[in-house]
Amino acid sequence: MRFRNAVLFVALAAVWGSAFTAIKAGLDFFPPVLFAALRYDVAGVLMFGYAIYATDRWRPRTRAEWYEVAVGGSLLIAAYHALLFVGEQGTTSAAAAIVVSLSPVLTTGFARAFLPDERLTPVGLVGLLVGFVGVAVLSQPDPNDLLDARTVSLGLVFLAAAAFALGSVLTRRVETALPIETMEAWSMLVGAGLMHLLSLGLAESVVDVEWTTDALLALGYLAVVASAAGFLVYFDLLERLGPIEINLVSYAAPVAAAATGLVFLGERPTPLTAVGFALILAGFVLVKRAAIREALVGRR
C-alpha cells in the first residue's frame, strides 16, 4: 500500500507540475481566459459523468451545498485559473509553479482570519513572511519599474494562489454531505461558465484560436489528464495520506514544471528560481511544523 501511494504521489506531482508547461505551450494558440474556460468545459463534463457513476448525489440540494459550489466555482476554479493563465504569459512554467506552491502557506494565513479555531503562532508568522520573501526573490522586482512584465505576471500568479487559498478556507467553513466528486464537478462547470463570461468581457473569441495539433494536445492534456484524472488521484491520496502529506505535492510539482519546461520549451531555471523555491518550502515547514511532526510520529 505504501508503495502504491508513493507511485501515485510521484505521478500526481509529475502531472500537475507538467500542467504548467502545458499551459505555457497552449498560450501560443489560445487567448488565456478562453483557454482556461475550455479546459474546464471538458474537465467538468468528465467529472460530472464520474460523479453520476460513482456517487448517489449528482447535484447539490441544500443552501450550504450550493454555497460550497459557488465558492469552489468562483475562487478555486474561475479566479485561480483565469489569473494563472493570464499570469503565465509573462513568466516561466517553473516560476509559476513555485509561486502557486505558496498556496498551503496562504491557506493557513486566511484560516487565521476566517476560522476561529485556527491559530498562527509567532513561528508561523515567520514562516508566512519567509514564504513572501521567496516570492519577492523569485520575481526580482525592479524598484524603478514595478510594472514590468515579469513582475506583473508573477503578481497575477500570486493572486491566483491567494484566490485558491481563500477558496479552500471558505469551503472548510461549511460542513455538508455533498460528495467531493459532485462538488468538484459542479464547481468546474460553474467556474467554466464564469470564465466564459470574463472571456467575452475581454473580447476574446474562438476565432482567435489556432486549432493546431499542439493546441489540441495541450487542451486535452490539461482537461483530461491534469484536471479530471489528476483530481481523482488527489482525492484518493487525500483520503489515504491526509492533508499535510498531500500538500507536499505543491512542492514536488515545481520540479516537474522545471524539467518539462526545459525539455519542451527550452526554459532554463536561474539560481534565484531555486532560492525562491527553497524559501517558500521553508515557509511551509515553519507554518506546518506541528502537523508535520504529528504526521511523522504517526508514520513511525
**Closest CA relative to residue 204, chosen from 21, 32, 20:** 32
Entry field: residues in the chain: 300
Mean pLDDT of 142-164: 83
Residue 244 lies in a domain: yes
User: Model confidence over 44-85: pLDDT tens digits?
Assistant: 999 999 999 999 999 999 999 999 999 999 999 999 999 999
Residues whose CB falls within 8 Å of the CB of residue 203, separated by 6 or more in sequence, listed in order:
none
Residue 119: what pLDDT?
A: 65
Residue 109 identity (one-letter amino acid): G
Residue 276 lies in a domain: yes
Burial (CB count within 10 angstroms: exposed 0-12, middle 13-18, buried 19+), residue 233: middle
Residue 50 identity (one-letter amino acid): Y
- The strand pairing partners of 142, in sequence order, are 145
Task: Give the residue carrying C-alpha cell 486566511.
Answer: 110
**Closest CA relative to residue 30, chosen from 76, 82, 77, 79:** 82
Residue 3 lies in a domain: no
Task: Using a pLDDT cut of 70, give the percent of the chain over it.
Answer: 93
Q: How far is CA 86 from CA 23, 32, 79, 135, 300, in A?
A: 10, 5, 11, 18, 44
The model's pTM is 0.91
SS3 31: coil
Residue 1 lies in a domain: no
76/166 Cα distance (integer angstroms): 8
Residue 2 lies in a domain: no
User: Model confidence over 98-129: pLDDT tens digits?
Assistant: 999 989 888 888 887 787 666 667 888 888 88
User: Model confidence over 183-212: pLDDT tens digits?
Assistant: 999 999 999 999 999 999 999 999 999 999
111/170 Cα distance (integer angstroms): 8
Domain range enclosing 280:
11-299
pLDDT of 166 above 60: yes
Residue 237: what pLDDT?
A: 85
Q: What is the DSSP letter of 56?
A: S
Residue 147 lies in a domain: yes
Residue 165 lies in a domain: yes
170/294 Cα distance (integer angstroms): 25
Query: How far is CA 120 from its chain centroid?
Result: 23
pLDDT of 2 above 60: no
Q: What is the number of domains present in the chain? A: 1
Residue 104: what pLDDT?
A: 85
Q: How far is CA 130 from CA 74, 104, 136, 162, 297, in A?
A: 29, 13, 10, 16, 26
Q: N- to C-terminal Cα distance for the chain?
A: 16
92/38 Cα distance (integer angstroms): 22
183/189 Cα distance (integer angstroms): 10
Residue 146: what pLDDT?
A: 58
Residue 4 lies in a domain: no
